[in-house]
């Protein structure tokens, strides 16, 4: 025999004591990656969705909207689920509110600082 049984048993018990620390160190990078993804991707997307939902719920007549299909038009009327949008003079379409991706209030946004 090259290695005595007593030495092999002592080596096994030393590895058993450091097992908890070793398992934590192997999981720590995964935890750090999840935290980074949360703060860099998930949290900003949730914030963007909250502001979009707020702007859709506050949408009123004469606001300009952009749909997911790329239609740009002026809001004529709204209800709980649908919005009537005029995309050209005399052309009105009924749009589901959940397909609206941008709402620009009447008069546009803030002017640029010139």
In a domain, 112, yes or no: no
Do residues 65 and 51 share a domain? no
Instruction: Name the percent of the chain lying above pLDDT 90.
Output: 67
Question: pLDDT per residue over 42-61, tens digit each?
Answer: 999 999 999 999 999 999 99
More confident position, 14 or 23: 23
The span from the CA of 83 to the CA of 96, in Å, is 6
Let me know if residue 114 belongs to a domain.
no
- 38 in any annotated domain: yes
The answer to whether position 113 is within a domain reads no
Whether the CB-CB separation of 85 and 92 falls below 8 Å is answered with yes
Supply the pLDDT for residue 105.
83
Judge if 19 and 44 occupy the same domain: yes
Tell me, yes or no, whether 17 and 47 share the same domain.
yes
Same domain, 13 and 45: yes
Rounded Cα distance, 37 and 23, in Å: 22
d(CA 58, CA 82): 13
pLDDT of residue 24: 83
Task: Looking at the structure, tell me whether residues 37 and 68 fall in a common domain.
Answer: no
Query: Does any domain span residue 96?
Result: yes
The pLDDT confidence band at residue 16, using thresholds 50, 70 and 90, is low
What pLDDT digit, counting tens, does each position of 84-105 carry?
Answer: 999 999 999 999 999 999 998 8
Average of per-residue pLDDT values in the chain: 85
How many structural domains does the chain have?
2
- Statement to judge: residues 52 and 70 lie in one domain: no
């Amino acid at each position: 025999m090259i290695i005595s049984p007593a030495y092999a048993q002592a080596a096994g018990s030393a590895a058993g004591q450091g097992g908890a620390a070793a398992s934590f160190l192997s999981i720590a990078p995964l935890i750090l990656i999840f935290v980074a993804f949360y703060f860099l991707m998930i949290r900003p997307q949730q914030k963007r969705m909250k502001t979009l939902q707020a702007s859709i719920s506050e949408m009123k007549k004469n606001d300009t909207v952009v749909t997911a299909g790329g239609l740009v038009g002026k809001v004529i009327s709204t209800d709980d689920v649908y919005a009537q949008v005029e995309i050209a003079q005399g052309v009105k379409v009924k749009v589901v509110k959940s397909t609206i991706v941008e709402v620009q209030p009447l008069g546009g946004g803030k002017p640029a600082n010139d």
